[in-house]
Each structure stands twice: as C-alpha cells, then as structure tokens.
Homo-oligomer: A and B are copies of this chain.
Amino acid sequence: MKKQTPLPPAGVRLTEGLAQRMQQLVRDKVVPYQWEILHDRVEGAAKSHCVENFRIAAGLSAGEHYGMVFQDSDLYKWLEAVAYTLEVFGDPALEAQADEMCELIRLAQQPDGYLNTYYTLCKEDGCAQKRQEGYEPCRVAGLPDGSDATGERLPGLGNRFGNLQQGHELYCAGHLFEAAAAYAAATGKRDLLQTACRFADYLVKVFGTGEGQLRGYPGHQEVEVGLVRLYEATGGKRYLDLADYFLSERGRKPLYFEAERKRKGFCDLFGQPALYLPTYAQIHARPVEQTDAVGHAVRALYMYSAMADLAALKSDPAMAHACAALHRSVTERRMYITGAVGSTHVGESFTGDYNLPDDTVYGESCASVALMMFESRMAALTGEGGPFDTVERAFFNRVLGGISLTGTEFFYVGPLAVDPAACRENPDLHHVTTVRQPWFDVACCPTNIARAIMSIGGYAYAEDGDTLYVNIPLAAEVRHAGHAVRVEGEYPYGGTVRITALADGQRVRLRQSGLAPAVALTLNGSPLPLAAERGYLILPELRLADTVEATLAMAPHYVAAHPGVTNNVGKAAVMRGPLVYCAEQADNGAGVAGLAFAEALACEESEAFTHDGAVALTVKGFKAAFAGDEALYRNALPVWEAAEIRLIPYYLWANRGEGEMRVYLNVR
C-alpha cells in the first residue's frame, strides 16, 4: 500500500510563487516551443524529426526514420507535459494539437499492438542510425525465428527486441504509458490509453518466463514505472505483473544481455564497451539485492522508482529494504548539493561514495527528475516526509536550473563549477556546456524538465484517505476529494506558510522540512506546539476558515560537504531554504574561484536580477589578490582583500551570457 498518493494536477491550482511562474513559463513558452521543435520548425536547433517519424510510420508521409532509437520518447514526454498543462490550465487549442498527436501515434501502431517508429521503419536494416552516421549497416532484421542465443525468440518478432540492451523499445513504451495515463486523467479521453494498453498487452504476450516468451528486459529502465502507471490508470493487474517480471528477471545469471550480444547479427548501436558493464544497466545483481547506486543514473533512478512502487503495491519488505538502501546510497553519499546525480560523463553514471567533483560532473537534468520520482515514491512507501527534502533539492536547484528564463534553452549537464575557457580547452570538460542549448541530438532532458514542472503540484500535495499532506508548501488552492485548503506564501523564498481551511474537517499534515524547518506554528494566531511525526508536523483538524501559520527558518547559512568530498573540504556553499546559491561572473567579475567567504556569514538580501521575487544575497568575504606579476608559481600566499560576494540562486545561473560560476567557495 502506498502511504500517500499525489494529488492530480487539477486538484492543485498554484496561485503564486516560483513554481507557479515556472508552470506559466511551461504553458506559455516551453510547450509551444517544443511543439515547434518536434515539427522541425526551429532554425538553429538540433533536428528532431520526431513527429515526422510517426507520420512516416503511420503512412502519412514518405521518407526514412531519422534520429536516435529513442526518438519517439520525445513526443511522449511532450504529451505527458501537455496533459498536466491541460489539467492545470486548460487550453482547447493545445488540446487539439495533443489530440492530433494521439491519433498520429495510434496510426503508427502496428496491427499487433507494437509501437516504435525506429524499428517499424528500419525493417530492412536494424542499424539505420549507424548507417546515417556513415557506419556499415549490419542486419538485425530477417533473423530466422528462434535463432537467437536465448533460444526463446518468439516467431514473428522480426527485428523487434533484437537489441534489448540498447534498442530502447521498452524505454519508449514506458514513456508512452506515462503519457497515456496522464492524458486520460487530464482530458478524460482514453484513445491514447487504449493505444498504450494495446502495446502493453502485446508486451505481456512477448515477455515472460512462459514457453516461447522472451526472457529479456530493457537496457534502459522506464517501462516499469510506465506499466505501474498503466496499472493504476486501468486496474489491469497484468501490467503490474509485467513490471514485476522485468524487475525480477534483471540481474539473473547468465545475463540476458551477454547472450544477446553474442547472437549472430547483433548490431552494436553505440560501440562503447564500457556500456556493457553490468553495473551500467544495474544488472550486476538482482534489484532486490542491490545496495549501492551504480551505473547510468537515469536508468538507475527510474528502476529504483519502479522498485519503490512495487514494494508498496505488493507490500514486499525485501524490495522495500533494497529501496531504503539505495535511497541512502544516493542521498547520503552520491548526490550533489544541488540534487544533481551522476558524477561522471562516462556512461552518465554514478561513481563512488563522496566522489562528487564539481567540474567534471555529469549531473544530467533527467537524472534529477528521476531522483524526484524515486524520492517521492520513497515517501509514499515509508510514510516518511524526509525524502521530500531531496525532491525539493533536486527540483528547485538542478531541475529548474536545466531551463532558461526564456523557456527555450536547456542544460543537459549540471556543473557546480564552471570556467568557460577550461570547458573549451580541456577535453575532460567537453561534455559541459556553459550556455543552455536550444535542443539536443539526444533530447531527453527538455521534455523531462517540462513534465516535472507541470506535475510539481502532485509532489507538493498528496493524500492518504482524508489526510492531506503538504510536502512542499507551494502557494495553492487545493481542492480534491474533500480536501479544501488555501496555502499562501512565497515559498521557496518566503518564510511564512499560511494554511487556511476552505471547508470543515480538514486533516492536514505539513511536512517538517530539513531544508527550511518550521520554527514556530500558530492556529488562528495562537501558538501551537511544534510536534512532528515521521517528518510531518501534526496539526489539529481544521474547521472552515481556521488558519495555521508556520514560520520557516529561512536565513541564509553555510553548508559544508562531508570531508569525503575532497574537492570541497575548506569550502562552503550558501543555502537559503531549499535553494542553493552560486557566484557568477556576471555579478562578481572574472576570477570567481578567487572569492572566499568569511568564517562568520554576514549576508544581505536583495532583489535578484529577475525582479520576480527571487532573492539575491550579498555576502561579506574576500578576494584573493596576488602580487602584481603574472608568475605561474610564487613564493607567497595571496593577500585576501575584503570583497562583497554577490550570490544568486543556482537555478538562475547562465541566464546573463557565458561566464564563470561556482557553488562552493573557499572559507577563510
């Protein structure tokens, strides 16, 4: 049993504050921009061809598939973001666009339910992508049935599922399932859900331990959370069982992927042997036995999310135990202060405990979205509020930092220390872009950010029967299934949260955040005791017009990392509530690394350059001044001159041109 369930977007109307502004940006800019992108109508952006692939597969257009094997997922994630947008804002014109896409997807579906434009269009040649890149084509299609290494290949599969490790068919399926469930919930229209179920039913036939079934599982996890969502949307237990199968089968020896790679005609799409490491795809052990977060961070966290779902829905204590260990591994030892995860670009992967370099970091936007998914599920699994600290950390810093103020440019990678010259000149940093990009060849992040922002209401507000959980106190009017409260305040900037009951008998639990803890609580102006249980403040049942006011600790303060984070010993970051701050060249001139905080924090707040309520900080500190010469090495320490250090919230960095940026600065 899940101990809390997110409220649907329709139940949470954000009324003010950063999250609301971001949702407006998604509606006004991001969704329309991405619509144009998916139709290849934005000049200067990487080519998408995503909609065109569907049109070709649907027989509405002629041509060849273009793009990655996972190109379809961009449309699915856009649709998911649109579903939330429609649910929050309503927009008939947008809904018409989305309906058109749902119909296009239906038309691209094969008669037996299979749905993937890449493998549908590349019938003759399983490696169209590589051919486009100038590689020799190699054949996957036309393998005699039953000829693969597992000996269990279904007749009639053709080129489908011949490269589960890299092919991403199940990954795309998962995003379709998430989009379909969201779209049905938002609009009541079930066409896309039916398309999704037809595909899912086909997968139920193809995959499993039964005779003639493929005993494979996806290289890139995602189908599992999608199947859970489909189960929750339809009640079809077979979908839950298939998710369970995928998780159970993973890591079973001998490894399916090793057999798959040896099959005659196997086409290696990526050609990087490091990506065959069992840890990369989390097949080094059965999920239930995993304890450390390893490998590709997005794959890992999508899988952990599904594990937490299954652990709750099937009341599986062993799986819950594994989830708890993985939760601790990520959040207590392998996560950046910004909620970024994945310390290396090699395999976009986790590395080791406390190995959190600020410049060579990967910290993909998608990984932090996936972290929000996993951690919110950990709260649902355990009933504890604590995991939402990580949801807030990831959302307000790394995820929001992934998108520009214009809504049309995006970061894939999330560095905490940037020297633009070094990023250009040192190949070890070539994966770090110093300015946001209009689109990507691998375009997973922009749509993921959009869907995360548009679904933030469900992270912020959840329910368990007649109890309403305020996980993130975003200003909102909340009305759903008997819950009726108004929450006011400028969170994450404002330090006051006011909860007013809009009906009698409101049972509300306000999360006691570790990042902005409540320090005082009143009911209709009279003090309440600050009693917390499992991470939630206990409030009395509210009658109509009762108002609870919480005062949050919002003073800026230093944060130091564990000494195992060797690159940051002696340094500190500044946080204010859930927001991590950074120093940018735009405010401080060149030489940001030469700034140092004073031991005692003396700090003034002011309006940030965005003039939207965001708070900038001016901190007393120092700047290293070196003797007048330009010597590379000098027999003297620098002189530290008093300096004011201007800090802005990390999520706002790189909105004023290219420049240096640092989260951690020296302290002296």
Contact = CB atoms under 8 A, between A and B. Distances in A.
Contacts of A357: 359, 426, 428
Nearest to A575: B635
Number of this chain's copies in the complex: 2
Interface stretch (A20-28, A481-489, A537-545, A560-568): A560-568
Given A624-B570, A633-B337, A426 B562 contact: no
Interface string A344-379: 111101011111010110000000000000000000
Contact of A635 (B428, B558, B591): B558
Contact of A427 (B347, B630, B637): B347
A563 B428 contact: no
Contacts of A43: none
Interface stretch (A114-122, A416-424, A452-460): A416-424
A559 interface: yes
A331 B630 CA distance: 12
Given A419-B566, A596-B570, A426 B633 contact: no
Contacts of A335: 632
B563 A591 contact: yes
Nearest to A631: B562
A69 B286 CA distance: 44
Contact of A637 (B355, B360, B635, B667): B667
A559 B635 contact: yes
Contacts of A559: 633-635
Contact of A633 (B346, B561, B567, B631): B561
A561 B624 CA distance: 12
A221 interface: no
Given A351-B427, A599-B637, 7 more contacts: A274-B427, A332-B631, A355-B422, A357-B426, A560-B638, A562-B634, A569-B666
Interface string A560-603: 11110111011010010000000000000001011010010000
A668 interface: yes
7 pairs of A and B residues whose beta carbons are closest in the complex: A352-B425, A566-B593, A346-B427, A570-B666, A351-B426, A351-B425, A563-B594
A562 B422 contact: no
Given A355-B421, A558-B635, A428 B426 contact: no
Interface residues of A, number: 62
A636 interface: yes
Given A335-B632, A569-B594, A428 B428 contact: yes
A626 interface: yes
A422 B333 CA distance: 13
15 contacts: A332-B630, A337-B633, A344-B426, A346-B427, A346-B428, A351-B427, A352-B422, A353-B421, A360-B360, A558-B635, A559-B634, A560-B626, A563-B626, A569-B593, A570-B668
Contact of A560 (B274, B359, B636): B636
Contacts of A129: none
Interface of A: 274, 331-333, 335, 337, 343-347, 349, 351-355, 357, 359-360, 417, 419, 421-422, 424-428, 557-563, 565-567, 569-570, 572, 575, 591, 593-594, 596, 599, 624, 626, 630-638, 666-668
Contacts of A331: 632
Q: Which of A337, A632, A637 has most chain B Cβ within 10 Å? A: A632
Contacts of A575: 635
Nearest to A274: B427
A600 to B, nearest CB: 9
A634 B563 contact: no
B426 A624 contact: no
A352 B624 contact: no
Contacts of A426: 343-344, 351-352, 355, 357
Contacts of A630: 332, 562
Contacts of A563: 591, 593-594, 624, 626, 638
Nearest to A553: B635
